[in-house]
Structure 1
Amino acid sequence: MNGPCTAPARTVRRRALVIGGGTAGMLAAAALRGAVDEVLVVEADELPDGPLPRKGLPQARHAHMLWSGGVRAAEAVLPGITARWLAAGANRIPTPTGMVALTSQGWLRRWDRETHFVLGCSRDLLDSVVRDHVLGAEGVTVLQRTRVEGLTGSASRVTGVRVRGADGRETVLEADFVVDASGRASRAQRHLESLGVRPAPERSLDLGLVYATRVFRAPEGAEGFPIVSVQSDPRSGRPGQSASILPVEGGRWIVTQTGTRAGAPTGDAEGFAAFPRGLRHPVVGEIISRLEPLTGVSLSRSTRNTRRYFERVRDWPERFVVLGDALAAFNPLYGHGMSVAAQTAAVLREEAGLRGVDAPGLARRVQRAMAKPVGAAWELAMGQDVFYPEVQGGAPGLRDRVLARYVDRLVRTSCGRFSMVEDLTDVTSLQAPLTSLVRPRVLLGAVRGPRYPPLSGPPLTARELALVGGGRG
């Protein structure tokens, strides 16, 4: 006689929902993939098929660098992503050997030892490789042309989102975990307030920075050409103006110019050619005068520094996290936005994988842990930007001035001492905290100063000068 039949237990499926289909959102989806059964990415726009411009991301046309600290974080979230970027055409550019840079304190030497690296490619390519990798995996889907109108749940726990589709109809999507990665335009503060969550402290610093970018055809045989940049001096009392050349995929160079209030570049071709010739050194202007332009000039003005201190909200709701530019948006000049997005996604992956998305206090723990990489990049940006004239949102205090003088000393030393390059780049690549600059070794290097005298001009090799038609030394 057979015993009683027992119905099999129903498998509980957990679903995570990510607001935003950009790089930060895709990395968040990848971070959660192992902790839930399915991840749904909700994107307001239609995502392109391949490395093409994405609506709602005008800054994508400008030069983007992913520092080695960000590359390693992305690799932790998406194993194999670095090889995919390189296979798609991205350049791995070693620092300082692959950089010709005029800092606020002089020209950097191109030492023959690599300390760190940056990934050089168009933002369209970087985004598309991540998107294809994430959406090609089982368990991740995207809902496009759908806008998130609000969060559901209560002040103690988020249970999903209210969305409005392209047809105008509103529906509720339930989720066991929700991540806001919707970028600078995030409405997380407003959505949380509607649930009764107290608003997070917020700080913003606006330089009035304008970006102008044009893409040029690289000279024949220019593989391995360095990044070329002329930076501004925030403490000169003059508007901040800079220009850079970034070699990217497809035999192209992205040339980006920036200027703060009273020093902004223009959107016309004549002004674009003239602007870099008036900088602290005309090398960028001289190089591009011999290049063939492939595009017109693109302008962007959405460049303010904004940080939302969600980690300070005492009664943070369960099952909800904010990351990427929705958490902190930086002046793009420093190339830290994407790296921080990758590092915050890596934090999410580690915590969610270790504890599970339904662990009590997980969201608060994650939000607090994310404050570490965000804070490092924030201190770097604020320590420079607060000194520019006509900045809105703050003025330098005594701490800022003392720190700035010390950093100037470190940068000046790095122009003639290799060990200081290592220590400084550990910080600028977001692989070490700002506090590492007060270690005994660094303090001793600052006291000793540069070992070699300053360079008189850009350290381009004879081959590189020949490629770009000479140029001033």
Structure 2
Amino acid sequence: MADYAEGHAVVLGAGFAGLFAARVLAEFYGRVTVVERDELSAGHAARRGVPQRDQGHELLARGQLIAEELFPGMTAEMVAAGAHLGDMSANARWILEGRRLARTRSGLSIMACTRGFRERHLRARVEALPGVTVADGLAVQRLTTTPDRGTVTGVVVARGGRERTLTADLVVDATGRGSRTPVWLEELGYGRVAEDKHRIDVGYATRYYRTPPGAFEDDVSINTLASAEVPRGGSTQLVDGGLTIVTTYGILGDHPPVDPEGFHAFVKSLATPDIAEIVAVSQPVSDVVRYRFPANLRRRYERLTAFPDRFLVLGDAVCSFNPRYGQGMTVAALEALTLRAHLAGRERPEPLTFFTDLAVSVLNDVWDIVLTTDLVFPGVEGERGDDVRFIHEHVGRLQAAGMRDGDIAVACLRVFGLVDPPAALFDQGLLDAVARVEEHSASNVPTA
């Protein structure tokens, strides 16, 4: 294993991607500094710099597993502080095409809590690591490099107009979708990074409530997914602080209103009344807040022919997905594991090799899932060739069978939760199970 003991790594951004990265970097570097623009010491609200901070957030089942691996005991710690833990299938209501998936125990956990709550607990664990410092209130100005611009040597930060330089053996950009790395690369002479954009124009609206005990029965969350027939969706979760969060969304400009009456009417327009029934017995404790996501965005760093040494990019700064699928935090956790693998076997990570591995081992499958699923909606632009139509039909069969069979539903949820790869949906055992469900269903359909 490479020896980084005397080295200093700097992470730009104290969101989930930056915190997961800092946790892994602390295994190798003697010092790790996380630089954050926002002030982190003021109360317990989510960071001001997160535009969707008040919306519902999910850590998928695979992300939950990774978080517990990297921070042992954090799940129990968060539950003790007010988060709600449940089984991904048995304690979550999944509604697709207006029908509920069948339920059985999956053995995989989901945790319902607010973004700020999860981020605070994660940050506290990172700050407790030896050699790690989280420095807030610092605006990143620019990178510093060797004279030939071939190696990044640090970063210039500023507070109150006063600049200082943090020298580093590795700089990791985890500043999110608004990352300035594309601009920095052009200024350094590396050219423009190619970007893939796919318009979806999702609009979100969220309101917080207090809900009487027992309203959720044994569930911690209820999820009504948008479909081609009803391109609106929403979720409601029991979260920390004794609160319930209700988030609704619509695509291609059909966004939920922010006035209370319009918001409630939007909730009632969903495919089933499950979420509306929760709202009907709950008391609102906040205004309605909105967030808009224009397009899936992927920056193709792996396609560049050159990239400065000792500099990497992670998280939404590389790829940001339609948030209705809840994949962002889990992808950040998966990327941290890729970073760990590259740190373990080399004197230092080689950027282009890292970006290629990131694309192959993490991003390609998730990107394909998102784009293919978005194409279910007729108004979304994109090619719908035979392969896309086949996948839509196949997934539709699986979901229909999953309404009747809990094991099939769990197989679908494992892929949705990024535990299994998409190829698992074509496992012969699963196909046989679907065929049996379809045969049984057909034999029980009354004839005219």
Give TM-score scaled by structure 2 length: 0.90
**Structure 1 residues 312 and 75: CA distance shift in structure 2, 3 A:** farther
2:284 aligns with one of 277, 293, 296:
293
Counterpart for residue 60 of structure 2: 67
1:37 aligns with one of 30, 39, 49:
30
Counterpart for residue 324 of structure 2: 333
Deviation at 1:344, TM superposition (A): 0.6
Q: How does 1:407-422 map to 2 (within 5 A)?
A: 407-422=395-410
Deviation at 1:181, TM superposition (A): 0.5
Q: Is 1:134 the equivalent of 2:122?
A: no
Counterpart for residue 7 of structure 1: none
Matched residues in 1 for 2:210 and 2:298: separation? Answer: 37
Matched residues in 2 for 1:327 and 1:178: separation? Answer: 15
Counterpart for residue 96 of structure 1: 89
Deviation at 1:303, TM superposition (A): 5.3
Structure 2: state its 5+ residue gaps.
443-448
Question: Alpha-carbon deviations, 1:201-254, whole Å to 9, x = none?
Answer: 3211222111010011021355843412222213x3x6x201211111222110
Q: Which amino acid aligns with 1:308?
A: R
Q: Is 1:281 the equivalent of 2:289?
A: no
Q: Is 1:172 the equivalent of 2:187?
A: no
CA RMSD of aligned residues (A): 2.3
Matched residues in 1 for 2:305 and 2:66: separation? Answer: 28
Deviation at 1:194, TM superposition (A): 1.8
Deviation at 1:404, TM superposition (A): 1.2
Deviation at 1:330, TM superposition (A): 1.2
Deviation at 1:173, TM superposition (A): 2.1
Contact kept in structure 2, 1:376 and 1:430, CA below 8 Å: no
Counterpart for residue 116 of structure 1: 108
* Stretch deviating more after TM superposition (186-195 or 101-110): 101-110
Query: How many equivalent residue pairs?
Result: 435
Matched residues in 2 for 1:253 and 1:135: separation? Answer: 29
Matched residues in 2 for 1:78 and 1:225: separation? Answer: 26
Contact kept in structure 2, 1:13 and 1:37, CA below 8 Å: yes
Counterpart for residue 217 of structure 1: 210
**Structure 1 residues 166 and 119: CA distance shift in structure 2, 3 A:** same
**Structure 1 residues 135 and 109: CA distance shift in structure 2, 3 A:** same
SS of residue matched to 1:59: coil
Q: Is 1:348 the equivalent of 2:339?
A: yes
Contact kept in structure 1, 2:35 and 2:135, CA below 8 Å: yes
Counterpart for residue 372 of structure 2: 383
SS of residue matched to 1:387: coil
Matched residues in 1 for 2:89 and 2:5: separation? Answer: 51
Counterpart for residue 222 of structure 2: 228
Contact kept in structure 1, 2:103 and 2:406, CA below 8 Å: no
Q: Is 1:161 the equivalent of 2:155?
A: yes
Matched residues in 2 for 1:79 and 1:192: separation? Answer: 38
1:267 aligns with one of 258, 261, 273:
258
Question: Alpha-carbon deviations, 1:284-323, whole Å to 9, x = none?
Answer: 1232122111111011113531111222323233212111
Q: Is 1:151 the equivalent of 2:151?
A: no
SS of residue matched to 1:261: coil
Q: Which amino acid aligns with 2:219?
A: F
Counterpart for residue 437 of structure 1: 425
Q: Which amino acid aligns with 2:151?
A: R
Deviation at 1:257, TM superposition (A): 0.6
Deviation at 1:49, TM superposition (A): 4.8
Matched residues in 2 for 1:144 and 1:280: separation? Answer: 44
* Stretch deviating more after TM superposition (362-371 or 434-443): 362-371
Matched residues in 2 for 1:339 and 1:23: separation? Answer: 9
Contact kept in structure 1, 2:14 and 2:35, CA below 8 Å: yes
Counterpart for residue 24 of structure 1: 17
Contact kept in structure 1, 2:212 and 2:281, CA below 8 Å: no
Q: Which amino acid aligns with 2:31?
A: E
Deviation at 1:326, TM superposition (A): 0.9
Question: Alpha-carbon deviations, 1:10-37, whole Å to 9, x = none?
Answer: x983100101011211111111012111
Contact kept in structure 2, 1:116 and 1:429, CA below 8 Å: no
Contact kept in structure 1, 2:12 and 2:18, CA below 8 Å: yes
Q: Which amino acid aligns with 2:415?
A: V
Contact kept in structure 1, 2:26 and 2:129, CA below 8 Å: no
SS of residue matched to 1:373: helix
SS of residue matched to 1:89: coil
Q: Which amino acid aligns with 1:26?
A: L
Q: Which amino acid aligns with 1:37?
A: G
**Structure 1 residues 80 and 374: CA distance shift in structure 2, 3 A:** farther
* Stretch deviating more after TM superposition (138-147 or 205-214): 138-147
2:362 aligns with one of 363, 373, 385:
373
Q: Which amino acid aligns with 1:156?
A: G
**Structure 1 residues 399 and 156: CA distance shift in structure 2, 3 A:** farther
Deviation at 1:183, TM superposition (A): 0.9
Matched residues in 1 for 2:439 and 2:174: separation? Answer: 45
SS of residue matched to 1:186: coil
**Structure 1 residues 181 and 413: CA distance shift in structure 2, 3 A:** same
SS of residue matched to 2:155: strand
Counterpart for residue 318 of structure 1: 309
Matched residues in 1 for 2:400 and 2:394: separation? Answer: 10
SS of residue matched to 2:200: coil
Matched residues in 1 for 2:98 and 2:435: separation? Answer: 16
**Structure 1 residues 105 and 41: CA distance shift in structure 2, 3 A:** same
Q: Which amino acid aligns with 1:140?
A: V
Q: Is 1:206 the equivalent of 2:185?
A: no
Contact kept in structure 2, 1:60 and 1:123, CA below 8 Å: yes
Q: Which amino acid aligns with 2:202?
A: L
Matched residues in 2 for 1:309 and 1:215: separation? Answer: 38
Question: Alpha-carbon deviations, 1:150-205, whole Å to 9, x = none?
Answer: 22225532222233x12223333221011111011111211122222243332112
Structure 1: state its 5+ residue gaps.
1-10, 455-473
Contact kept in structure 1, 2:89 and 2:410, CA below 8 Å: no
Counterpart for residue 232 of structure 2: 241
Deviation at 1:281, TM superposition (A): 1.6
Q: Which amino acid aligns with 1:325?
A: D
Contact kept in structure 1, 2:152 and 2:311, CA below 8 Å: yes
**Structure 1 residues 109 and 188: CA distance shift in structure 2, 3 A:** same
